[in-house]
Amino acid sequence: MGTLIFDSGLSQKLKSLKIVNIATDCLSCIFNQALKVTKELGLDDNRSKEVLDIAASMIPKMSMDLTPPQNATPMYQKISKYLKVDDLYKDIKEKSIQKAKDLEPLAYEILKNSSDKFITATKIAIVGNVIDLASEISFDLSDELKNTMQRSFAIDNTNELHEALKKSKKLVYLADNAGENIFDKIYIQYLRDEFKDIEIYYFVRGEPIINDLCLEDLKDDPIHDFATVIDSGVPTPGLVYEMLSESAKEIFDSADLIISKGMGNYECLNQAKSHPIFFLLKVKCSVVANSLNKKIGDIICKKI
């Protein structure tokens, strides 16, 4: 594991942060995430029950003053420590990346033939956001790549995003799940070609957590050719500003634009006001749907 391990002080540290509260519906989702771990690792019934016992013992202690990612992190860390497995989803992350790679030629072809390449490239980035093992429902990646191109944004701040990109010199791009990086690379490559003066920093998690991207997942990945990949130091499946490493915080603070992928980052940052932030995501749970006043399945480009 990384430098931050599960301990009794973690919850107190998290409680000091300014966040958006968890909803009661999230608690069953977090428990189901623990169940997914047992299935992904192929645990027998006895070991599975022990993992679920850990989750069941921690859920009553979760704070309604924390986000879902902040509440889930200590549970994952304790399960990881108990099972002696640093990266619980290592195999499935590798499979997700490979599945995304298989669709990469089609994504490039769609972009090449598009009459509005900025909108298409932005939608391609959002397509990857369906790869989320912490979400309430799942989507088929291949179907989503085709269907999303025909779908309108339920919240559409793409014009504002385009204008912001034209003025920006330093962009921080907050990554989300493994596999999304393939579609993020296509988007970032397009942004580098279209906005030639922009410097792009691609923030990943500080250690393995669910199926979120961390530095280890991007060894030899071509995204390094188009962006500077940054280990954020954040151990939660959603970027908590106060938990950024000092070096990552310095880059974040000096950026003039933030693009944030996924629901976890949205849950942790949707009240932030210090930077222009554009959230790119697909709505995959009722809590986020209610927060945005949109429907599950909607695609979002939202500025705050």
What are φ and ψ of residue 231, in 5° steps? Answer: -75, 110
**Chain centre to alpha carbon of residue 176:** 2
CB-based contacts of 9, cutoff 8 Å, min separation 6: none
Q: How far from each other are the two terminal CA atoms of the chain, in whole angstroms?
A: 34
Mean pLDDT per block of 10 residues along the chain (304 residues) reads 38 43 90 93 97 97 92 96 95 92 96 98 94 68 90 98 98 96 98 97 97 95 98 96 95 96 92 83 92 95 95
Check residue 273 and give its pLDDT: 65
- If residue 174 lies in a helix (H) or strand (E), which one and from where to where? strand 170-174
């792009």: which residue's tokens? 200
CATH match for 90-303 among 3.40.50.10880, 3.30.70.940, 3.40.50.720, 3.40.50.2020: 3.40.50.10880
What are φ and ψ of residue 155, in 5° steps? Answer: -125, 120
Rounded CA separation 249/244 (Å): 5
Taking a C-beta distance cutoff of 8 angstroms, is the pair 200, 227 a contact? yes
Taking a C-beta distance cutoff of 8 angstroms, is the pair 208, 1 a contact? yes
Residue 34 tokens read as 């623990």
Sign, CA dihedral 143-189-271-207, equals: positive
Check residue 8 and give its pLDDT: 42
Sign, CA dihedral 93-96-98-100, equals: negative
Check residue 139 and give its pLDDT: 76
Rounded CA separation 290/226 (Å): 35
Coil/strand/helix, residue 239: coil
Q: How far is CA 146 from CA 98, 114, 125, 191, in A?
A: 18, 13, 13, 21
- If residue 225 lies in a helix (H) or strand (E), which one and from where to where? none
Check residue 173 and give its pLDDT: 99
Check residue 128 and give its pLDDT: 87
Rounded CA separation 146/53 (Å): 41
- Where exactly are the structural domains of the chain? 8-83, 90-303
Q: How far is CA 120 from CA 124, 158, 170, 300, in A?
A: 6, 11, 22, 13
